Amino acid sequence: MSKAAKVVAALKVEQLTERQARAEHKRLADEIAHHDKLYHEKDDPEISDAAYDKLRQRLKAIEERFPQLLDMFSPTQKVAPTPTTAFAKVTHRRPMLSLDNAFSDEELQGFFDRVRRGLERETDLKPDAEIAFSCEAKIDGLSISLRYEDGEFVQGATRGDGTTGEDVTANLRTIKDIPHKLKGQGSSKPPKSLDVRGEVYMERKAFLDLNARQVAAGEKPYVNPRNTAAGSLRQLDPEITAERPLRFFAYAWGEAEPRSWKTHSEYLKLLKEWGFKTNPLTRLCRTPDDVRAFYRKMGEDRPSLPYNIDGVVYKVDRIDWQERLGFVSRAPRWAIAHKFPAEQARTRLKGIFIQVGRTGALTPVADLDPINVGGVVVARATLHNADEIERLDVREGDMVIVQRAGDVIPQVLGFVPEERPKNARKFHFPTKCPCPLETPVKAEEGGVVRRCSGGLECPFQQVERLRYFVSRNCFDIEGLGGTHIENFFNDGLLKIPGDIFRLKSKEAEIRKREGWGDLSVNNLVKAIEDRKTIPLDRFINALGIPLIGEATAKIMAQEYGDVDDWLAEMLKAAKERKKTPDDVKKEKAAAAVGESYGRLCNVEQIGVTTADAIAAFFSEGHNVDIIEDLRKQLTVEAVKRRVIAADAALKDKIVVFTGELNTMTRDAAKARAEELGAKVTDSVSKKTSLVVVGENAGSKARKAAELGIETLTEEEWVELSGSGR
């Protein structure tokens, strides 16, 4: 992060100018997208839940103050990354949304107050009337939806992005807690069509036993139960899933036709009658004080539970009240997750070693005496960078304090001074890369990252780039994991990405290697062949261009359309990059550096800094050679570009919907507005152009009137948008 970015990141949201807010919004969105991929798709997070939640809270606060920055690409408008292509896609009949979080009693009280105000406004609820909440421990696992038709289990899917998940039916059938046929007769007979939702998880003891078997077999132990459960469920071979000790708790529903229950607690009882296991740590609380007492009890019992929990979920018990309260953005108004504070433990720091990433960044890692933190055995923790080590002043032999929140790799908070060994020596960050070339390490100007200067000559960087190339959000080649990549590289089978698609010619050599038989080699070859056709956005993402991640790759694919135009424009931009980014900022004109580079600078979410990094990448001949080598072997699919006409009715307008719509869903209305060129936000401000007011509209309609913003009824919106045609 540059010095300027650090200054902006340290400012409170209310102190930001619009220009600063725009830069901070992009930084946060990119960082959140990065962590979403690690958590949801690689099952390998690198920051704590608490740290992640702070990023989202700051992003949301910026969007509330600057609603013009809110768009469809924002992480606040998504539940999780779009599923990868390893499994068939399943569209949920009703979205699987996320929950808002509360981290303090003040935030929890705010939730209670909002629920009461909403019910008083939407119903005839009296000010002193009781509001019952169904409270349950928040299981730390993987959200799943199970589809039943006439009582038969027919399909199961992951949550995915909330709208589309992955079909993991075969794997779910191996879990003993999931009934293949539902029980129940008469009043307890299950609905004809039913989506049961819940959590796949792994108990602590089962996780530790599994890790003991891994170590005994000479394999790398797993990080924690949640990631292990998620990885087990996403195995392409159900027999592997069947060997893993997975469990399931049911706690919600999606589609249910017909639905007989009137409260959430009644539904939980029905689940047990149908044959499901539900969390026994569930209680119906009738006052806020009861809710708080239950939270404290769960916090006290947490260390002794057989499975991990990271908080408590509260839901308004009455279903009709849930329906009246509705949803906002990606979360229901009638439920919230009350998170536990981060857990801490003390252990000995055995040493500090350096890892080298695909961009050459050197990351210090703490090697710890294994310690159980919240049911997870921790042996390593990132120390982030040289500045962080300097700040912490941790040394080999120190007793250190480590913290984890939820299921993440922990962070080192500091050391215990009175337990520091007398001969403990200060850690000095290396000036040479630990790779065999021992190339000099250079610090980024104005930044904290230190990088190996060897570029693609550095074997560590080459291996990490190849690992990234085959990862899930890139080419997603099953069976070619990080260890295989490293072994193949060290033995000369792989050097550049194109070599992956030449492995078929080396089948005989691979079969001679330990652990590779006919079946595994055939599966690998098939997986590689299946990826010889790739969408343009995945192709761009896989190249590892500095500052280009999944979201920006999609935007670039939309901008340029096909690989030929994209590559031609990138090469032109690289040639035109004759001036520094500061020069471009001062002149603010594409003509200053040429048409192609100027166009690149103006692509949404790119800007001058990223454009400069892209142009620098394409100025290196070996990078272009790698791309050309890949193009000879692959079919890169063009994207279907979204085109908004210059005369679109709502081009560049900011639109807000409030109240209940009768002729269409809120999502359909938003989609239509975006088709007409508008940006749809959830809050009303002076920047808002238009507010569509449905039935039972509340404060947003009042604020629009106070600000003199144009409002439309649903009928007027239908006429303007052509939604009824």
Q: Which residues are catalytic?
A: 138
Q: Give me 223's structure tokens.
A: 């990080």
DSSP state letter for 400: E
For residues 38 and 45, is the Cβ–Cβ distance under 8 A?
A: yes
> With the C-alpha atoms ordered 354, 356, 360, 364, is the resulting torsion angle positive or negative?
negative
Buried b / exposed e along 138-159 (16+ C-beta atoms within 10 A): bbbbbbbbbbbeebebebbbbb
- Distance in angstroms (rounded) separating the CA atoms of residues 176 and 269: 20
- Distance in angstroms (rounded) separating the CA atoms of residues 476 and 82: 13
> How many residues are there in the chain?
725
For residues 162 and 96, is the Cβ–Cβ distance under 8 A?
A: yes
Helix (H) or strand (E) holding 63: helix 49-65
Q: What is the DSSP string of 222-264?
A: PS-HHHHHHHHHT-SSHHHHHTS--EEEEEEEEEEES----BH
Sorted by sequence, the CB contacts under 8 Å of residue 702 that are 6+ apart come out as none
Sorted by sequence, the CB contacts under 8 Å of residue 167 that are 6+ apart come out as 87, 88, 89, 90, 155, 156, 157
Indicate the SS3 state at residue 304.
helix
- Distance in angstroms (rounded) separating the CA atoms of residues 665 and 714: 11
Could you tell me the maximum CA-CA distance found in the chain, to the nearest angstrom? 80
Q: Give me 160's structure tokens.
A: 């995915």
DSSP state letter for 41: I
Indicate the SS3 state at residue 270.
helix
Point out which residues pair with 626 in neighbouring strands: none
Q: Is 558 exposed, middle or buried (0-12, 13-18, 19+ CB in 10 A)?
A: middle
- Distance in angstroms (rounded) separating the CA atoms of residues 691 and 702: 11
Residue position matching structure tokens 């394409």? 618
Give CA 513 to chain center in angstroms. 36
Residue 195 half-sphere exposure, CB side, CA atoms within 13 Å? 18
On the question of a cis peptide bond just before residue 81, with omega within 30 degrees of 0, the verdict is no
- Distance in angstroms (rounded) separating the CA atoms of residues 540 and 560: 11
- Distance in angstroms (rounded) separating the CA atoms of residues 470 and 208: 29
* Rounded (5°) CA angle 16-17-20: 75
Indicate the SS3 state at residue 439.
coil
